[in-house]
C-alpha cells in the first residue's frame, strides 16, 4: 500500500532522515520504533505531506505522493493522528470530529462516522458538547484518533498515541488500535512504548539517528538481543 524509497529529509542544513526505505502492505499494522529524537515523527510528517523531502520517493497504491499536499492526501485515504494530539481546545468534542470529516458532503455519512467514533470511545459521546480543551489527556488522545478516523482512512498514521498517558488509558488506546486493524484499516504506528507496540504489530522498523537500524517481524524483534538491551530493559 505504501512504499518509501531512500527518503532524505533536512531541517535547514541538518539531516534528520538518512536514506530510509520501508513498506506497508494493505491490512498490516507496522510499527516505527526508536528513542526520542530518532526521526519517527519526521517520517510521519513527511508521509502526510507536512514536511518536504530533499530526495527519495513515496508511493501510495502505486501513485507517487512525494509532493502531494496534505489535504489532498486525506482525500486519497491517508489520515494522521499527530503527536501531542493538537485538538482544537476552544471547539467542542463534536466540532473537532466534524472538522475531521471535511472531505465528506453528506450529513448521513458524517453522522455514521460520529456514531462509529462514539462506539469506539463512549467517553467522547458523554462529553460531545464540552470544549475539547477541558478533556483529560487520555480523552484528548481519543479525540485526536477519532478526528483522524472521521475521513474513513484506508491508511492511518498514529504518532505516539500512548505518550503521557496513565497505564489503564494506554491499554484502552492499544485495544482500540487492534480493533481498527480488525476493521481492515492499515496502520503505521509510531511509538516509544516498544513492548506494547511489538505486542500488536505485524512487523516493525527500528530507527536510530535518522536511519533504519533493524527491521523484521514483531516476534523476531521482541526476541532480538539489541532491542531487548536498548528498549526492553534486558
Contact 198, 220 (CB under 8 A): no
Summarised one tens digit per residue, pLDDT across range 60-83 is 999 999 999 999 999 999 999 998
pLDDT confidence bin for 160, thresholds 50/70/90: very high
Q: Report, in angstroms and rounded to the nearest whole number, the Rg of the chain calculated over CA atoms.
A: 17
* Helices 137-149 and 167-182, packing angle to 10 deg: 10
Summarised one tens digit per residue, pLDDT across range 178-229 is 999 999 999 999 998 899 999 999 999 999 999 999 999 999 999 998 888 8
* Domains of the chain and any CATH numbers: 2-86+157-231 (3.40.50.300)
Enter the C-alpha cell of residue 45: 510528517
Mapped onto helix, strand or coil, the DSSP state of residue 17 is strand
Position 144 scores a pLDDT of 96
Enter the C-alpha cell of residue 149: 478516523
- Whether the per-residue pLDDT at 234 is higher than 60: the answer is no
DSSP-derived letter for residue 99 is H
Can you give the pTM of this predicted structure? 0.93
- In sequence order, what E strands does 61-202 have? 63-64, 78-81, 155-159, 186-191
Position 231 scores a pLDDT of 79
Segment among 40-44, 85-89, 95-99, 122-126 with least mean pLDDT: 85-89
Amino acid at each position: 500500500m505504501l512504499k518509501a524509497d531512500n527518503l532524505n529529509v533536512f531541517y535547514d542544513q541538518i539531516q534528520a532522515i538518512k536514506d530510509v526505505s520501508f513498506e506497508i502492505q494493505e491490512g498490516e499494522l507496522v510499527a516505527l520504533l526508536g528513542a526520542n529524537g530518532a526521526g519517527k515523527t519526521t517520517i510521519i510528517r513527511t508521509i502526510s505531506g507536512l514536511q518536504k523531502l530533499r530526495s527519495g520517493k513515496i508511493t501510495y497504491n502505486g501513485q507517487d505522493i512525494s509532493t502531494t499536499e496534505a489535504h489532498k492526501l486525506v482525500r486519497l485515504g491517508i489520515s494522521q493522528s499527530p503527536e501531542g494530539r493538537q485538538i482544537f481546545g476552544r471547539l467542542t468534542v463534536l466540532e473537532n470530529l466534524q472538522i475531521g470529516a471535511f472531505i465528506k458532503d453528506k450529513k448521513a455519512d458524517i453522522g455514521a462516522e460520529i456514531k462509529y467514533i462514539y462506539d469506539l470511545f463512549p467517553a467522547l459521546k458523554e462529553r460531545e458538547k464540552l470544549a475539547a480543551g477541558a478533556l483529560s489527556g487520555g480523552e484528548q488522545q481519543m479525540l485526536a484518533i477519532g478526528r483522524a478516523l472521521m475521513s474513513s482512512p484506508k491508511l492511518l498514521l498514529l504518532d505516539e498515541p500512548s505518550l503521557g498517558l496513565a497505564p489503564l488509558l494506554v491499554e484502552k488506546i492499544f485495544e482500540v488500535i487492534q480493533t481498527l486493524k480488525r476493521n481492515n484499516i492499515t496502520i503505521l504506528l509510531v511509538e516509544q512504548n516498544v513492548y506494547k507496540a511489538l505486542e500488536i504489530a505485524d512487523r516493525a522498523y527500528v530507527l536510530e539517528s535518522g536511519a533504519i537500524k533493524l527491521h523484521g517481524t514483531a516476534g523476531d524483534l521482541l526476541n532480538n538481543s539489541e532491542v531487548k538491551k536498548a528498549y526492553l530493559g534486558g
